[in-house]
Amino acid sequence: MRGKKIKILVVDDSAFMRKFIGDIISRDNELELVGTARDGEDALKKKDLLKPDVLTLDLEMPRLDGLATLRRLMETELLPVIMVSSHTRKGSEITLEALSAGAVDFVTKPSLFKGESAEELKIMLPQKIKAAAGARLYPRAGMPVKSEEDKTKKVFSEKLSKPFRHSALDRSLCNVVAIGASTGGPRALEDVIRGFPADLPAAVLITQHMPPGFTESFAKRLDRVSGLKVREARGKEKILPGEAYVAPGGYHLIVEAGQTVLSSTPPVQHVRPSADVMMESVAQFFGPGAIGVILTGMGRDGADGMAHIKKNGGRTIAQDPSTAVIASMPQAVIKNGLADEIVPLDRIAAGVSRLLNNKNGKEG
């Protein structure tokens, strides 16, 4: 969209929030506020007239709320939507439902008592709008629609990867799958985690860029769709096969002595939790028993972590960028030659299982 401003329609029942978000948009030279709407019904009428590139959509509104509005939008066209959520437990659960239904990303409403949350929104919202404008969208029932070029491109290595090799000292250690994701990740992670069998011979560690207050609900949502036992990491848990641990918002998830550890050390590349931090610790402790996976997301978090996994004998999988909502994170891995395999989203779970089966001496 170079040379052309990104048009945004702001949908919120609060006049204060419509002005607050509108002012943030108007201060950015790359963005254009084309209108506001006070509820979902108003938004559905105005979007046909104003033809925005991106919607910001409040969750709690009269007449037609944000989730119902989103579902109506997704029935007719794939328009990038950023949800505006409250910090409440109910707000987090509905936000995750919206992400699963097709929203690209979300921001949280600033607290009246915390000025820093308002300042954070002023920084994050323009970035997320710009990312959403370039997002690759797809309906809930299917994968991203591929171009003819994508369809003919070979994106998955059909030959079996070389088996993992362990010394006698480390055969007793659990295998670990370390997954990093950002924008578009909640929906992608649902697809991946759903594909893992309950008897997966590995633990799964997940870093999804998400603020505090949302990761507990996210872990519970993943637990409902997965045969694995999924929980928000609490720290000092023994890492076990068949279980998955989600990094809590605001903390890095690392491994020490085979247990989860939560760290409040500074953000890395502006994020905490960081996939790089998680993967480096996984690589150091599990060595060849580690598999790194990078999914959709903005930025390059995970690229350095994947390098550590490869250096210590593990294997790496990057999501095929043509199936990612935001391609930046997997592209950073691929550009640096750090992806052993480049796999479409709907085949990542099978690819991980195949690597684990090869490692354990089974047929792929």
Q: What is the DSSP string of 87-123?
A: SSHHHHHHHHHHHHHT--EEEEPPPTT-HHHHHHHHH
CATH code that applies to domain 160-359 = 3.40.50.180
What's the confidence (pLDDT) of residue 166?
38
Proportion of the chain above pLDDT 70, given as a percent: 87
Q: What is the DSSP string of 320-348?
A: -GGG-SS-HHHHHHHHTT--SEEE-GGGH
What's the confidence (pLDDT) of residue 117?
75
What is the average pLDDT value for the chain, to the nearest integer?
88
pLDDT surpasses 90 at 156: no
Same fold yes or no, 6-133 and 160-359: yes
CATH topology of domain 6-133: Rossmann fold (3.40.50)
Instruction: Taking residues 91-117, report their average pLDDT.
Output: 83
Q: Of residues 85, 92, 182, 217, which has the active-site annotation? A: 182
**Residue 252 is a catalytic residue:** no
**Residue 281 is a catalytic residue:** no
What's the confidence (pLDDT) of residue 89?
72
Asked if residue 342 lies in contact with residue 156, where contact means CB atoms within 8 angstroms, the answer is yes
Q: How far apart are CA 314 and CA 164, in angstroms?
A: 8
What pairs with residue 253 in β-bridges? Answer: 262
Asked if residue 255 lies in contact with residue 270, where contact means CB atoms within 8 angstroms, the answer is no
Q: How far apart are CA 106 and CA 20, in angstroms?
A: 16
Q: How far apart are CA 242 and CA 161, in angstroms?
A: 23
pLDDT surpasses 60 at 308: yes
Asked if residue 95 lies in contact with residue 214, where contact means CB atoms within 8 angstroms, the answer is yes
What's the confidence (pLDDT) of residue 344?
97
Structure tokens at 149: 């070029």
β-strands 252-256, 259-263 pairing: antiparallel
Q: Of residues 301, 304, 320, 340, which has the active-site annotation? A: 301
In angstroms, the Cα distances linking 317 to 55, 268, 293, 333 are 33, 22, 5, 9
Instruction: Taking residues 322-350, report their average pLDDT.
Output: 97
Proportion of the chain above pLDDT 90, given as a percent: 77
Do you find a cis peptide bond into 52, omega within 30 degrees of 0? Answer: no
Structure tokens at 9: 């329609």
Instruction: Taking residues 184-206, report their average pLDDT.
Output: 96
CB atoms within 10 A of CB 191: 17
Asked if residue 274 lies in contact with residue 300, where contact means CB atoms within 8 angstroms, the answer is no
Instruction: Taking residues 165-184, report their average pLDDT.
Output: 70
Q: How far is CA 164 from the centre of its chain?
A: 28
pTM of the model: 0.88
Asked if residue 35 lies in contact with residue 6, where contact means CB atoms within 8 angstroms, the answer is no
Q: How far apart are CA 266 and CA 284, in angstroms?
A: 20
**Residue 166 is a catalytic residue:** no
Q: Of residues 209, 322, 328, 340, which has the active-site annotation? A: 209
- Give the residue extent of every domain in the chain: 6-133, 160-359
pLDDT digits (tens, 9 = 90+) for 53-89: 999 999 989 889 999 999 999 888 889 999 998 777 7
The residue among 355, 364, 362 whose CA lies nearest residue 164 is 355
